[in-house]
Amino acid sequence: MKIINEVKFSIPSLSVNESVARAVVSSFLIQADPTVEELADIRTVVSEAVTNAIVHGYRNSYGNIEVVVRILENNTIYIKIRDKGCGIADIEKAMEPLFTTAPEEERSGLGFSVMQSFTDKLSVKSIVGKGTTVIMRTKLKCHE
Ligand SMILES: Nc1ncnc2c1ncn2[C@@H]1O[C@H](COP(=O)(O)OP(=O)(O)O)[C@@H](O)[C@H]1O
Ligand SMILES: [Mg+2]
């Protein structure tokens, strides 16, 4: 699908950058004229994916998180969040609702479920020791 506009940025895995990522993505996407609800959903999924990179991907380390957001033709939004952290050994298991490897940190295990239900398509690719890439696509409602 044709790219109409795009923003790419990289942030270190500091917890403050969860809100930075959310703010950059939502201000970029204003031009696509999302509804209040659509924008709230996008802010939530960005938070979930960036938090995962910080707390799981880089749990014993620090590194950068790469974020790419695109507005594609057909009012479709593409969001990629990539870390070069520890990776996920069993993606299918990790994506099960309520599964978490960090219960002591009061994680709910619902991050991937939220990403799945708040977007049209979620793809997770991961290599242990190399990192994780989460790609989400969602089509905004047309309001002409
Ligand atoms: N970027 C990542 N790097 C490594 N592991 C991850 C990453 N994202 C998710 N995971 C793994 O998948 C599990 C489930 O993630 P999620 O559904 O967001 O629940 P939670 O974050 O509450 O544990 C995490 O507990 C973790 O084991
Ligand atoms: Mg999570």
The verdict on the CB of residue 118 being under 6 Å from ligand 1 is: no
Per the listing, tokens 């996008």 go with: 42
Residue 62 lies in a domain: yes
49 falls in which pLDDT band (50, 70, 90)? very high
pLDDT in tens, 65-84: 999 999 999 999 999 999 99
CA of 46 to the centre of ligand 2 (A): 11
Which pLDDT value is given to residue 144? 54
Tokens of 34: 């999302």
Which residue out of 54, 56, 117 has the highest number of ligand 1 atoms within 8 Å of its CB and is therefore the one to mutate? 56
Percentage of the residues of the chain whose pLDDT score is greater than 70? 99
Please state the domain count of the chain: 1
CA–CA–CA angle 86, 48, 42 (5° rounding) = 135
- Which string of DSSP letters, residue by residue, matches 87-134? --S-HHHHTSTT--S-GGGT--S-HHHHHHHHSSEEEEEEETTTEEEE
The verdict on the CB of residue 44 being under 6 Å from ligand 1 is: no
Residue 72 lies in a domain: yes
Which of 22, 64, 75, 107 is an active site residue? 107
The verdict on the CB of residue 131 being under 6 Å from ligand 1 is: no
Residue 144 lies in a domain: no
**Whole-prediction pTM:** 0.96
| Burial track 106-118 (b if 16+ CB lie within 10 A, e otherwise) | ebebebbbbbbeb
User: What CATH number is attached to the domain comprising 79?
Assistant: 3.30.565.10
